Amino acid sequence: MSDATLDRAKRRTGLMAALLATGMIGLAYASVPLYRLFCQTTGFGGTTGRAEAAALPDAMRLQALGGRTIKIRFDSNISPGMPWQFVPKNREESIRIGEKRLAFFVATNMAATATTGRAIFNVSPDTAGQYFRKIECFCFTEQTLAAGETVQMPVTYFVDPAILDDPDARKIDEITLSYTFYPVDNPEPKRLSTPASSVLANRG
C-alpha cells in the first residue's frame, strides 16, 4: 500500500470516528427528552401521562362507574441546593375515578434573590402511572420565584376509568403523586406577559 493510499485510509478512519463520536453525543442529549416522552406516553416507571380536557369521561360514563373512589396522596420534595419550601396544600383527598379535580402545591423562595426551578414527578404504585392523567400542571414549565415570594401551583388531573379494566391495577385503592423541585442554572427566557386568567399568577 502506497503512502498516499495509507494517508487517505487514515483520514477516512479519523473522519468516521469523529462522526461516530458526534452522533453519540447527540444521542446522549436526545435520550433525556425522548425517555421522558416515552415515560409520559406509557406510564413507565410511574410517570404520569398528560391529557387534554376532551379526554375526560362524559357524564354517562361516570354514572356507569357507580361512584368508585380512590385516595390520592400528595408528596413534595426539594433537591439539595434548592432554596425553596414546597408543600402540598392538602396531603390527601378521595376522588371519584374519572372526575376532574384540582390540587394545589405551595412554594416559597427562601433565598435573597430570584431562583428558578423545574419539577419532576412520578406516581406510585408504578402500575397506576399510565392511568393518572394531568390536564394542567406546573411541572410542564420552569417556575421562577422572586426573593421571598410564595405561589400556589395548581395541578388539574383525573384518574382514567381504564384503570378498572386492568387486572394489575383495578385493585389499587391509593395513588401517591410525588414532585421534586430541582434548581435551574440557566432558565429559559420568560414571556413578557401572562394571561390574567392563569391560576399560576395567583400569588400570595
pLDDT in tens, 134-150: 988 998 889 999 999 99
Can you give the residue range of the structural domain that contains 60?
A: 48-186
Q: Say how far apart CA 97 and CA 175 lie, in whole Å.
A: 12
CB 105 within 8 A of CB 89: yes
The CATH number assigned to the domain holding 161 equals 2.60.370.10
Note the pLDDT of residue 14: 60
Domain assignment present for residue 204? The answer is no
Domain count, the chain: 2
Kindly report, residue by residue over 36-73, the tens digit of the pLDDT.
Answer: 444 444 444 444 455 555 566 666 666 667 778 999 99
Res. 200: pLDDT tops 70: no
Kindly report, residue by residue over 87-135, the tens digit of the pLDDT.
Answer: 999 999 999 998 999 999 999 999 999 999 999 999 999 999 999 999 8
Domain assignment present for residue 135? The answer is yes
Is the same domain home to 38 and 53?
no
Banded pLDDT at 74 (limits 50, 70, 90): very high
Q: Say how far apart CA 32 and CA 111 lie, in whole Å.
A: 29
The beta-strand segments (E) located in 43-173 are 49-50, 69-78, 84-88, 92-96, 101-109, 115-124, 132-137, 143-145, 150-159
Note the pLDDT of residue 8: 64
Note the pLDDT of residue 97: 92
Average predicted confidence (pLDDT) for the chain: 77
More confident residue, 80 or 66: 80
More confident residue, 117 or 186: 117
CB 145 within 8 A of CB 197: no
Give CA 177 to chain center in angstroms. Answer: 11
Q: Could you write out the DSSP letters of every residue in 32-57?
A: HHHHHHHHHHH-GGGPPEE--GGGS-
CB 123 within 8 A of CB 48: yes
Is the same domain home to 133 and 70?
yes
DSSP one-letter code for 166 = -
Is the same domain home to 104 and 23?
no
Is the same domain home to 90 and 136?
yes
Domain assignment present for residue 198? The answer is no
